[in-house]
Structure 1
Amino acid sequence: MTHPSEPDSSEPHSVSRRAVAVALDIGGSHVTAAPVDPHLRAVTAAPVRLDLSHDAPHDTLIGGWAEAALAALAGAGESVTVTHLGLAVPGPFDAARGVSGMTHKFRALHGQDARAALSARLRGTPLQDTPILFGNDADLFALGEWWAGAGEQLDTIGVTLGTGIGSGFIRAGQVQTGGPGVPPGGELWNTPFRDATVEDAVSGAALTRLTHRHLGVALDARQLAALPASQSGPVWTAFGQTLGEALAPWVQAFGAQRVVLGGNISRAFRQFSDSLQSRLPPGTQVRQSRHFENAALLGAAFLRGPELPQH
């Protein structure tokens, strides 16, 4: 007879299981997936990247998502419990219903129940019956930085600067898509600015127009960053000031304490951060993304926020 304080060698030893979320970021040309440890607030294995064009057939898209998710799970190691499968997707997309409203991309998914299709594709795999949650990719970039990055869990506006501009508004760990200081859907790109829109003024194309105006040659952000500061400085200063003036009314109305920048243009953050900061209200600090491509994965992991550790 075994003493109550001693383990019974006739029974299998219990194995402590580690909780992870499996997070996916759905892009126009590829899907990225990784396991995220909610307690460490970190991506715990090298992300899996699978080439997958947005114009692929429905079954190819869903199959690619399933393949990437299972590969990410395999990278998480043994003895893990998956809390959920979180997907960062472009919009328009009805996250609650799991239905795409996109017609410019992912046409094969338009009006289809992506949650049901993915769940069916995962039947008979280790991810069978795992809850599947969706969120807008720009929102989840901001949410990931709020939870585990440069937002530092302060009221945050996340902005991605690239070919276009994406945005997300986060208060107390919740994505805000309306209310004081929040444009419809949390989308800044099409809000009016200088007789046009914010995206017209601060996208990659806008930066290229600035280089042509100041330098007489059209350059992208990477080419501009490679120039000596004596040449590139005036362009970056003008870009930062314009970005600050475009953001300032929203920052003021929302009461944002942090503005976090991601996307390709923000790789040159040091070149324009001072001029941008000078145009923002006092008490708001602008920061470069801490996680860049991984930020949306972290945000997808935090989609079950109330159940996850925040500090």
Structure 2
Amino acid sequence: MDIGGGHVTAARVDLNTRAVLPGEVHHVVDPNASADALLNAWAAAALEALAGNGPPARIGIAVPSPFDHAAGVSQMTHKFAALHGVNVRDGLQDCWAGTVLDGVPVAFGNDADLFTLGEWWGGAARGTGRVIGVTLGTGLGSGFVAGGQVVTAGPDVPPDGELWNVPYHGGIAEDFASGQAVRRAYQSSGQEDYSASAAGIAALADAGDARARAAYAELGTHLGGILAPWVSRFRPDAVVFGGNVARAWKHFQPTLEAALPGVSCQLTTHFEASALLGAAALGGEELI
């Protein structure tokens, strides 16, 4: 399962082929709903995705931070406020009581970490040892995986494995590498359309707009600058990029690779499904 700000996605994953199976379920969920409404919606999506099949080996769930993954307790206040301090694992298992999911083990992981784990396990970085994953959306997400394990501490990674708030150019990394950063770069070029989204700017770049292309080229340069010290420390075999902004890959890949010479930079092969793959692999040491 993948829990987003306003959605829940659930799917079965084949542990042998490392693939998301047909029948993926995607539901819009009100993040301001009550705790019971949220838990019931998430639990129902999982049952719907199961589609009458037998119980799975386990349930993996990708969630935003902050969240106590080991305890299963939400610490979020900026979204899903009704779940703050709630044991989500217990709540879901209560919802599944008497169903085929009753008693199935549940594990949680950070969504960006599981994007990276999914790309390592069954995506663009499959077969490698060490991977950095970067998700580009409204903000900047990141994950570090070594030997199938998410790394969040130690001298080779930023605190908690998160790049978004590392100091960069007098601010933080997310100020320079995100969908909002692309918008600001485009706006600063003197364009009149200040409402253009990152996707809209990508469409302009596709059509040959030089300033739109320059905004994405700037994104690639900044991404390289942000990643360079951590690439040097973590020594990844690949750096994989995902998130909706990464759909404009061709517009920032050249400057990104110029800023990270010799580094294998890859576009995700699964986009939204990567976190589902990572959730399936979560806790599955026998899969490594």
TM-score normalised by L of structure 1: 0.87
> Does the 8 A contact of 1:36 with 1:298 survive in 2?
yes
- Structure 1 gap ranges (5+): 1-23
The answer to whether the Cα contact below 8 Å between 1:248 and 1:281 also exists between their aligned partners in 2 is: no
Q: How does 1:51-130 map to 2 (within 5 A)?
A: 51-74=28-51, 78=53, 80-130=54-104
Q: Paired residue for 2:219, among 239, 242, 253?
A: 239
Which has the larger Rg?
1
Matched residues, percent identical?
A: 49
Cα shift at 1:230 = 5.2
Question: How far did 1:153 drift?
Answer: 3.6
Residue 207 (structure 1) aligns with: 182
- Per-residue CA deviations over 1:145-191 (Å, capped at 9, x if unaligned) read 11000112421111111111111101100000011321111111011
Q: 1:28 is matched with which residue?
A: 5
Q: Secondary structure at the match of 2:70?
A: coil
Q: 1:10 is matched with which residue?
A: none
- Residue of structure 2 in register with 1:294 after alignment: 273
User: C-alpha displacement at 1:194, in angstroms?
Assistant: 0.3
Aligned positions, number: 282
Note closer, same or farther for the CA distance 1:67–1:210 as it changes in structure 2 (3 Å cut). Answer: same
Deviation at 1:225, TM superposition (A): 1.9
CA contact (8 A) 2:180 2:198 kept: no
For 2:43 and 2:214, the matched residues in 1 are separated by 47
Residue 169 of structure 1 aligns with an amino acid whose one-letter code is F
1:201-245 C-alpha deviation (Å, 9 max, x unpaired): 111111111112235243322222222335233222222111111
In the alignment, residue 164 of structure 2 is paired with which amino acid? W
Q: In the alignment, residue 245 of structure 2 is paired with which amino acid?
A: I
Aligned twin of 2:122: 148
Task: Report what 1:18 is aligned to.
Answer: none
1:256 and 2:227 are equivalent in the alignment: no
Q: What one-letter code is carried by the residue in structure 2 that aligns with 1:264?
A: N
1:107 shift after superposition: 1.2
For 1:85 and 1:63, how far apart are their aligned partners in 2?
16
1:270 aligns with 2:250: yes
Assess if the C-alpha contact under 8 Å between 2:55 and 2:100 holds in 1. no
- The structural deviation recorded for 1:65 is 1.2
Which residue in the other structure is 2:136 paired with? 161
Deviation at 1:264, TM superposition (A): 1.1
User: How far off its partner does 1:81 sit?
Assistant: 4.4
Q: Tell me which of 80, 100, 111 is aligned to 1:137.
A: 111
Q: Tell me, which stretches of 5 or more residues in structure 2 are unaligned?
A: none
How far apart are 1:54 and its partner, in Å?
1.6
How many Å apart are 1:266 and its aligned residue?
0.2
Which deviates the most, 153-162 or 289-298? 153-162
Q: Is the 8 A contact 1:200 1:206 kept in 2?
A: yes
Q: Is the 8 A contact 1:168 1:186 kept in 2?
A: yes
CA distance in 2, matches of 1:129, 1:194: 49
Instruction: Please tell me whether residue 192 in structure 1 is matched to residue 167 in structure 2.
Output: yes
CA distance 1:128–1:81, change in 2 (3 Å) = closer
* SS of residue matched to 1:229: coil
Is the contact between residue 163 and residue 205 of structure 1 (CA under 8 Å) also seen in structure 2? yes
- Give distance in 2, aligned partners of 1:298 and 1:70: 18
- How far, CA to CA, are the matches of 1:306 and 1:30 in structure 2? 29
- TM (normalized to structure 2)? 0.94
